[in-house]
Structure 1
Amino acid sequence: MIGERVVQRVSSTRGFAKVAPHVIPALDRAVHRLTRGKVLLSAQMLPGVILTSTGARSGQPRRTPLACMPQEAGRSWLLVGSNFGRTDHPAWTHNLLAHPDAEVSWKGADIPVRARLLQGEERTAAWKELLAFWPPYATYQARVEREIRIFRITRRGQ
């Protein structure tokens, strides 16, 4: 698809990395709230969830719209802490490391989940899948010295 390639190219630019973290989440949260959880603007290009995690330091609930890679027919998802190729790990990754129990809004349903940071061979395999799913992740990783965190979130009770 030409449109998808253009979006991938644009999302790989440094300018996008500077602007997107301030604009996209705010728009996503507003549209998600107005549509009672049925629509995420960013999900028009990539699947997305609203992650509600517990703040690592504050202990307060934090809602973050995120692109995701659904797996196992919506029983688990991969979340990538790319931060659009910016230097620091995104705050939500610190939150999940401190408090792995969280909630996602997925297609209008609120689902309790548990997060697990992927490491070693499991991370390597997931990274290959993610690059096939969204190639700009390779650009984001090349731009930073840190290893981009990948979490698998799974419905609690499974």
Structure 2
Amino acid sequence: MRRFLPVFAAVLLLALPALAVQPDEVLRDPALEARARAISAELRCLVCQNQSIDDSDAPLARDLRILVRERLSAGDSDEEVRNFVVARYGDFVLLRPPFNWQTALLWGGPFLVLLAGIAAIVTAARRRRTEVAAIAPLSDEEKARLAALLEGRDQDA
């Protein structure tokens, strides 16, 4: 049992979130560092694409974290830093891109797919209802033949 305790502890440590910010990147001013972390959490890693630059270990993410900290140290506001990065890399660098004509499909796409699915279901239901209604009822002769078949005797034989 004691042998498994270090393994269990190692597995628990692996489950903790890994923040990629290196000690040499951290600013001495806690207020500036907090601002840098807040901005970094909103910027997408262009290599990983589903992580913020704050969480990514990619070299480009490190360069962007350093760039953010340099701009903040130079006196830029949070908005100026974001605008600088967006001007350089486009709206794609934002984890939550703004709604505009270029990103309208990105924001509206899921709703369009949902509406298309609903339209397909409604169309299929109407078509099925029309097909069921188009089936004519059995004639008296067909009913008699069916009853005979169900009883095990055949009228034609």
TM-score for the superposition, normalised by structure 2:
0.22
TM-score for the superposition, normalised by structure 1:
0.22
Larger radius of gyration: 2
Bigger fraction of residues in helix: 2
Bigger fraction of residues in strand: 1
